């Protein structure tokens, strides 16, 4: 099917999740809220892709998870960045900036 | 590193699956509730918030599915589902499962048992170091017959050859020493081997050591023995302290220096002990009784070594024309020599037969699966319409085949585990037969055969089911859009018939050959004879002295006096058990070695011919007086050969070499073949045993009674004469003859068993196909019956179908059979591989089996009731 497009979207979401988690451990819902807020409601994270992404990042060892109490005192699964994830975030950020500046350059000058 | 973590994660996901699912549920639920609370905080009512949140969230199952994907367990999930489906399918159609698993179990089981047998006897390398470098070394008679070596020739080859870096040898007809055990004597089987025997083979003792060639250079062999593992367990209860102990063999003390490894095996004899034999240059060069093998030097090929030894043999022939003129040398790979061409071919045929049977079982199951795939057509079409991928469906069907195959393989393992001990315990002269086991190699074979079978029988139906009839066929239930599948099934059933025919032809030919062998006339009367083998200890009965003569004279006299005994005679060769002893003879006027004829010879007592029932044609038997030692009796064919126009009695013949003794012919007896069944009746010279004073003799006791009834009387007589003597080994002549049939009987049994199963499977295949066709055509039959077709006509309609299947199969089978039977030629005795009678019987059997198999569905077709059938629409 449309594997490629899915990949790009997914890769971007991964990057956003990693970046968001740099602020500290968070559960899934607050990650999606945070991305939405920070992007001024431009980016709306679909749950259908958020959770698969979280579990995939965990499988790769870039984030870890543990159960804890949420702000309203309920049991929730918190995700945090691992050391490996932090290193990955740097690489991915650099790559994203390179790509986006290249794309804007093309959009402006071509 | 990343790979390992990934695998560990997936494995964790698989093993802690329940927990993971619960946590996922909880995580998603939490998310939903947070979302609802957020919306309620923004002023929505609970119901509104809940509805909107759920809509926003999407189908939770689909999210979960994607998360599971992220866990990397989808393949495992699907496979598990496929496995469950496969098991459910097997349980819901027990008849199908039983037939499929059963036929596969028999096919795989037979193949595994035969593989284990062939592996132990033939395929596995010999239990020696670098067995590929070992070659047998034989001399070749002027007549081209591979033959044993003489001591001086062996020493010359050993000294001069560069291509062989070591030569080991053993003595044909070694001594059978008697071991003293708690005051009684136990006769042992021994092998007398040269000091280098074990070092050339590269065999190390499991305890102690083997012979040291340095200790035995020139001269007497020290009194040392090496025990086989078998002898060590049998005689000394595997006592490790036996090494260094002195044991009493024939009244003399020998030191046990070592025990051979458990897997050591040489030839077909189960030796207890190995005795040293040091060849001497002073022995007669024309006296051949050594078997030998050599190890190829590094970088020397068998051909190069053969070339070198041929040259050495030629040089010996020039130097010693009186003994070596015309003789040659032959090298062969040692494993071929030890097993023999006939046995190799027999095991090749058995392996082939088991492969054919397995192929047939696969064809059978494949046809069954095709039929089932036709029944499952609707299900498959439905799933295709609902978006299942073809690859996914194929994978599912292959998993089903694999499950079927594994169950068949498991049952095969049980069958093989039951059959292997039977094979191992058979009394057949095959090397390493007692080592046949369901070991690692057999298990790997079974596993591979199982997987390959599942591919073979699964592929056709998997491809067929998922490609045939795109779209539309959900509607067309009765129209035969499955023509291709039916044609494929017919082809499979035909090949089943063809394979069954090939196996049955093979079994038929082996059976006919076996019957000819069994009816083989050896030239003497095998019934009513008890055989007793004696090996006198040389220290109390010096060879060629008076003592052995005196002992055997008195013993024979005593035995003749037993009630029921008609005649007692002795010979140096025990019928069908010992190897032949050969020599060359000529007219007394001949001096050229090339004019001498090869003959077999035995030393016999005067009543031997009477005891065995060999007819005395002319003259009289050898005398019993000791001064008549140059008298001889010869066989009719030799008499005719040497004196075609004269009576042989009174003539003289020259023994062995030009200055050998002249023997006076006093009688002529009928030709016999007492070595093997089906062999040629050989030219034979009988010496007077009385004159030779031999220590090893087999007495034949002819009686009107059941021969074994004399056993205890014979043992008593021996004990009374010499209480120190080991009790003689007793057997019946007819029993020894049956032993000679054991090897062909084993091949026959295994091939016949395969053929029988093949016939059953082919019958099941034909039945299944015809029954299926009848059920598909029931509607048509009903219409035919309604417009006036008689049951007889309906039945013949079905039979015509069956006949087409049979005819196709038989034609194919005939072609394949005629192409393959040539491989059987080496195993057939007085039977042509193209025996028309066998072919005719096999065709008749297959036609009968096929018709019986199709008669049931045919009768059902004849009973079709038009009303019921037409009402079904």
> How far is the alpha carbon of B411 from chain A, nearest alpha carbon, in Å?
41
B253 touches chain A (CB under 8 A): no
Task: Provide CB contacts within 8 A for B131, sequence distance 6+.
Answer: B125, B334, B335
Helix orientation angle between B483-518 and B742-776, rounded to the nearest 10 degrees:
150
Using the beta-carbon criterion (under 8 Å), do B70 and A59 form an inter-chain contact? yes
- What are B269-313's pLDDT values in tens digits? 889 999 999 998 888 888 888 999 999 999 899 999 999 999 999
B648 within 8 A of B618, measured Cβ to Cβ:
yes
- What are B60-69's pLDDT values in tens digits? 777 787 888 7
- What are B713-767's pLDDT values in tens digits? 999 999 999 988 888 999 999 999 988 888 889 889 999 999 999 999 999 888 8
> How far is the alpha carbon of A110 from chain B, nearest alpha carbon, in Å?
39
Residue A6 has a pLDDT of 36
Report in angstroms the alpha-carbon separations of B259 from B135, B238, B240, B255, B273. Answer: 25, 9, 9, 12, 9
Instruction: Please list, residue by residue across B658-690, b when 16 or more beta carbons sit within 10 angstroms of its beta carbon and e when fewer do.
Output: eebeebebbbbbbbbbbbebbeebbbbbbbbbb
Lowest mean pLDDT among B22-31, B548-557, B564-573, B779-788: B779-788
> In this complex, which of B23, B24, B35 lies closest to A29 when CB atoms are compared?
B35
| Residue range B830-847: mean pLDDT, rounded | 91
Residue B591 has a pLDDT of 73
Residue B873 has pLDDT above 80, yes or no: no
Residue A3 has a pLDDT of 34
B172 touches chain A (CB under 8 A): no
Question: What gap in Å lies between CA B408 and CA B414, rounded to an integer?
Answer: 10
B22 touches chain A (CB under 8 A): no
Structure tokens at B679: 């062999």
Using the beta-carbon criterion (under 8 Å), do A52 and B66 form an inter-chain contact? yes
Contacts of B23 in chain A (CB under 8 A): 77
| Residue range B542-557: mean pLDDT, rounded | 86
Contacts of A77 in chain B (CB under 8 A): 23, 26-27, 30
Task: Provide CB contacts within 8 A for B116, sequence distance 6+.
Answer: B416, B420, B423, B436, B437, B438, B439, B442
Residue B548 has a pLDDT of 86
What is the chain A residue with the closest CA to B57? A47
Using the beta-carbon criterion (under 8 Å), do A51 and B66 form an inter-chain contact? yes
How many Å from the N-terminal Cα to the C-terminal Cα in chain A? 31
Residue B545 has pLDDT above 80, yes or no: no
Share of chain B above pLDDT 70, in %: 95
Residue B658 has pLDDT above 70, yes or no: no
Contacts of B4 in chain A (CB under 8 A): none
> How far is the alpha carbon of A101 from chain B, nearest alpha carbon, in Å?
31
Residue B833 has pLDDT above 50, yes or no: yes
Residue A10 has a pLDDT of 64
| More confidently predicted of A2 and B469 | B469
Domain extents in chain B: 2-72, 142-326, 529-705
Structure tokens at B589: 């006027």
> In this complex, which of A33, A48, A60 lies closest to B58 when CB atoms are compared?
A48
Using the beta-carbon criterion (under 8 Å), do A75 and B26 form an inter-chain contact? yes
Using the beta-carbon criterion (under 8 Å), do B9 and A59 form an inter-chain contact? yes
Using the beta-carbon criterion (under 8 Å), do B63 and A51 form an inter-chain contact? yes
| Residue range B184-202: mean pLDDT, rounded | 92
Across the A:B interface, residue pairs with CB atoms under 8 Å apart total 64
Residue B680 has a pLDDT of 84
> How far is the alpha carbon of B398 from chain A, nearest alpha carbon, in Å?
25
Residue B740 has a pLDDT of 85
Using the beta-carbon criterion (under 8 Å), do A59 and B31 form an inter-chain contact? no
Question: What gap in Å lies between CA B464 and CA A59, rounded to an integer?
Answer: 39
> How far is the alpha carbon of B64 from chain A, nearest alpha carbon, in Å?
8
| Residue range B822-845: mean pLDDT, rounded | 90
B390 within 8 A of B704, measured Cβ to Cβ:
no
> How far is the alpha carbon of B60 from chain A, nearest alpha carbon, in Å?
8
Interface test with A, best of B27, B35, B55 (most A CBs within 10 A): B27
Residue B453 has pLDDT above 60, yes or no: yes
Residue B855 has a pLDDT of 86
Residue B510 has a pLDDT of 92
| Residue range B833-851: mean pLDDT, rounded | 92
The pLDDT confidence band at residue B626, using thresholds 50, 70 and 90, is low
> In this complex, which of B62, B66, B72 lies closest to A59 when CB atoms are compared?
B72
Average of per-residue pLDDT values in chain B = 87
Residue B711 has a pLDDT of 94
B175 within 8 A of B190, measured Cβ to Cβ:
yes
| Residue range B88-111: mean pLDDT, rounded | 88
List, in sequence order, every residue forming a beta bridge with B597; answer none if it has no partner. B585
> In this complex, which of B5, B24, B28 lies closest to A61 when CB atoms are compared?
B5
- What are B726-741's pLDDT values in tens digits? 889 999 999 999 888 8
B25 touches chain A (CB under 8 A): no
Share of chain A above pLDDT 70, in %: 90
Contacts of A61 in chain B (CB under 8 A): 2, 5
Residue A59 has a pLDDT of 86
Q: Is the ipTM of this complex over 0.90?
A: no
| More confidently predicted of B453 and B860 | B453
| Residue range A79-101: mean pLDDT, rounded | 91
What is the chain B residue with the closest CA to A84? B2
B814 touches chain A (CB under 8 A): no
Using the beta-carbon criterion (under 8 Å), do B67 and A51 form an inter-chain contact? yes
Contacts of A46 in chain B (CB under 8 A): 58
Question: What gap in Å lies between CA B724 and CA B252, rounded to an integer?
Answer: 13
Interface test with B, best of A13, A14, A29, A34 (most B CBs within 10 A): A29
Element (H, E) at B743: helix B742-776
Residue B423 has pLDDT above 60, yes or no: yes
Residue B479 has a pLDDT of 46
What is the chain A residue with the closest CA to B59? A48
B249 within 8 A of B225, measured Cβ to Cβ:
yes
B63 touches chain A (CB under 8 A): yes
| Residue range B584-597: mean pLDDT, rounded | 80
> In this complex, which of B27, B58, B72 lies closest to A28 when CB atoms are compared?
B27
Residue A5 has a pLDDT of 32
Instruction: Please list, residue by residue across B275-313, b when 16 or more beta carbons sit within 10 angstroms of its beta carbon and e when fewer do.
Output: bbbbbeeebebbbbbbbbbbbbbeebeeeebbebbeebb
| More confidently predicted of B698 and B428 | B698
The pLDDT confidence band at residue A7, using thresholds 50, 70 and 90, is very low
Task: Provide CB contacts within 8 A for B689, sequence distance 6+.
Answer: B552, B570, B571, B572, B603, B604, B605, B622, B697
Contacts of B56 in chain A (CB under 8 A): 47
Domains of chain A with CATH codes: 3-109 (1.10.10.10)
B2 touches chain A (CB under 8 A): yes
B67 touches chain A (CB under 8 A): yes
- Three-state DSSP at B262 gives coil
Question: What gap in Å lies between CA B667 and CA B623, rounded to an integer?
Answer: 10
Using the beta-carbon criterion (under 8 Å), do B37 and A76 form an inter-chain contact? no
| Residue range B70-91: mean pLDDT, rounded | 80
Residue A8 has pLDDT above 60, yes or no: no
Rounded to 10 degrees, the C-alpha dihedral B187/B189/B195/B200 comes to: -160
Question: What gap in Å lies between CA B221 and CA B58, rounded to an integer?
Answer: 95
Residue B571 has a pLDDT of 93
Residue B627 has pLDDT above 70, yes or no: no
CB within 8 Å of chain A, chain B residues 408-437? none
Average of per-residue pLDDT values in chain A = 83
> In this complex, which of A52, A70, A77 lies closest to B67 when CB atoms are compared?
A52
Contacts of A78 in chain B (CB under 8 A): none
- Three-state DSSP at B641 gives helix
| Residue range B601-625: mean pLDDT, rounded | 90
């Amino acid at each position: 099917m449309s594997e490629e497009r899915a990949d790009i979207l997914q890769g971007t979401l991964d990057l956003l999740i990693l970046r968001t988690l740099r602020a500290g451990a968070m559960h899934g819902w607050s990650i999606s809220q945070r991305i939405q807020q920070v992007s001024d409601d431009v980016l709306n994270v679909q749950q259908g892709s958020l959770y698969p992404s979280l579990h995939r990042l965990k499988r790769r060892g870039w984030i870890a998870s543990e159960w804890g109490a949420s702000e309203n005192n309920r049991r929730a699964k918190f995700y945090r960045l691992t050391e490996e994830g932090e290193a990955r975030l740097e690489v991915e950020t650099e790559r994203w900036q390179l790509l986006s500046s290249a794309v804007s350059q093309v959009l402006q000058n071509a | 590193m990343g790979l390992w973590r990934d695998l560990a994660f997936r494995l964790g996901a698989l093993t802690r699956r329940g927990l993971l699912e619960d946590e996922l549920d909880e995580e998603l639920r939490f998310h939903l509730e947070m979302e609802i609370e957020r919306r309620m905080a923004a002023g929505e009512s609970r119901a509104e918030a809940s509805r909107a949140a759920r809509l926003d969230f999407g189908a939770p199952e689909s999210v979960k599915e994607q998360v599971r994907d992220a866990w990397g367990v989808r393949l495992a999930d699907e496979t598990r589902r496929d496995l469950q489906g496969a098991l459910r399918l097997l349980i819901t159609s027990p008849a199908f499962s039983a037939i499929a698993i059963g036929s596969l179990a028999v096919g795989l089981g037979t193949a595994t048992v035969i593989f284990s047998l062939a592996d132990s006897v033939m395929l596995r390398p010999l239990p020696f170091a670098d067995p590929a470098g070992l070659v047998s070394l034989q001399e070749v008679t002027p007549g081209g017959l591979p033959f044993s070596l003489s001591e001086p020739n062996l020493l010359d080859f050993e000294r001069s050859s560069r291509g062989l870096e070591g030569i080991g040898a053993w003595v044909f007809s070694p001594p059978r020493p008697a071991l003293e055990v708690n005051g009684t004597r136990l006769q042992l089987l021994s092998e007398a081997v040269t000091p280098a025997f074990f070092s050339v083979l590269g065999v190390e003792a499991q305890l102690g050591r083997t012979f040291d060639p340095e200790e035995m250079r020139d001269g007497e062999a020290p009194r040392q023995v090496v025990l086989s593992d078998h002898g060590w367990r049998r005689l000394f209860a595997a006592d490790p302290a036996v090494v260094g102990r002195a044991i009493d063999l024939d009244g003399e003390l020998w030191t046990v220096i070592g025990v051979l490894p458990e897997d050591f095996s040489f030839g077909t004899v189960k030796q207890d002990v190995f005795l040293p034999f040091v060849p001497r240059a002073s022995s007669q060069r024309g006296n051949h009784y050594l078997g030998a093998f050599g190890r190829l030097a590094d970088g020397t090929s068998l051909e190069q070594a053969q070339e070198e030894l041929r040259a050495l043999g030629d040089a010996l022939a020039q130097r010693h024309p009186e003994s070596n003129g015309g003789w040659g040398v032959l090298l062969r790979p040692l494993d071929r020599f030890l097993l023999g061409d006939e046995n190799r071919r027999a095991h090749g045929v058995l392996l082939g037969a088991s492969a054919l049977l397995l192929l047939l079982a696969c064809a059978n199951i494949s046809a069954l699966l095709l039929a089932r795939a036709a029944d499952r057509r609707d299900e498959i079409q439905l799933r295709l319409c609902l978006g299942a991928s073809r690859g996914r469906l194929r994978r599912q069907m292959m998993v089903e085949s694999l499950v079927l195959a594994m169950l068949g393989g498991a049952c095969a393992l049980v069958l093989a585990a039951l059959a292997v001990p039977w094979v191992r315990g058979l009394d057949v002269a095959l090397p390493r037969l007692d080592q046949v086991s369901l070991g690692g190699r057999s298990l790997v074979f079974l596993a591979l055969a199982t997987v390959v079978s599942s591919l073979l029988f699964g592929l056709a139906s998997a491809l067929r089911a998922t490609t045939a009839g795109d779209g539309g066929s959900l509607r067309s239930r009765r129209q035969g859009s499955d023509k291709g599948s039916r044609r494929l099934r017919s082809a499979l059933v035909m090949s089943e018939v063809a394979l069954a025919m090939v196996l049955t032809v093979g079994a038929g030919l082996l059976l006919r050959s076996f019957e000819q062998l069994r009816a083989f006339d050896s030239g003497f009367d095998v019934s009513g004879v008890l055989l007793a083998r004696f090996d006198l200890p040389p220290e109390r009965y010096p060879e060629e002295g008076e003592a052995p003569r005196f002992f055997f004279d008195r013993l024979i006299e005593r035995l003749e006096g037993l009630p029921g005994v008609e005649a007692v005679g002795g010979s140096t060769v025990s019928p069908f058990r010992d190897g032949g002893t050969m020599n060359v003879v000529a007219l007394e006027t001949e001096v050229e070695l090339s004019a001498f004829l090869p003959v077999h010879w035995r030393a016999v007592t005067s009543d031997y011919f009477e005891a065995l029932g060999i007819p005395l044609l002319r003259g009289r038997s050898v005398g019993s007086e000791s001064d008549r030692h140059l008298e001889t009796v010869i066989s009719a064919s030799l008499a005719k050969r040497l004196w075609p126009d004269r009576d042989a009695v009174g003539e003289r013949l020259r023994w062995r070499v030009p200055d050998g003794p002249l023997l006076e012919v006093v009688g002529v007896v009928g030709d016999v073949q007492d070595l093997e069944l089906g062999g040629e009746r050989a030219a034979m010279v009988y010496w007077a045993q009385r004159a030779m004073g031999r220590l090893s003799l087999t007495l034949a006791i002819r009686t009107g009674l059941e021969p074994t009834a004399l056993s205890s009387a014979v043992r008593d007589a021996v004990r009374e004469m010499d209480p120190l003597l080991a009790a003689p080994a007793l057997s019946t002549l007819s029993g020894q003859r049956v032993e000679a049939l054991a090897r062909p009987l084993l091949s026959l049994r295994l091939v016949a068993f395969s053929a029988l199963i093949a016939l059953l499977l082919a019958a099941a295949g034909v039945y299944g196909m015809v029954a299926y066709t009848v059920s598909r055509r029931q509607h048509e039959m009903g219409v035919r019956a309604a417009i006036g077709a008689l049951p007889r006509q309906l039945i013949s309609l079905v039979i015509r179908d069956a006949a087409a299947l049979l005819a196709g199969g038989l034609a194919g089978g005939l072609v394949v059979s005629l192409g393959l039977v040539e491989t059987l030629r080496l195993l057939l005795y007085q039977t042509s591989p193209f025996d028309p009678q066998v072919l005719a019987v096999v065709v008749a059997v297959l036609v009968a089996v096929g018709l019986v198999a199709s008669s049931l569905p045919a009768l059902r077709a004849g009973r079709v009731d038009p009303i019921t059938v037409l009402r079904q629409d």
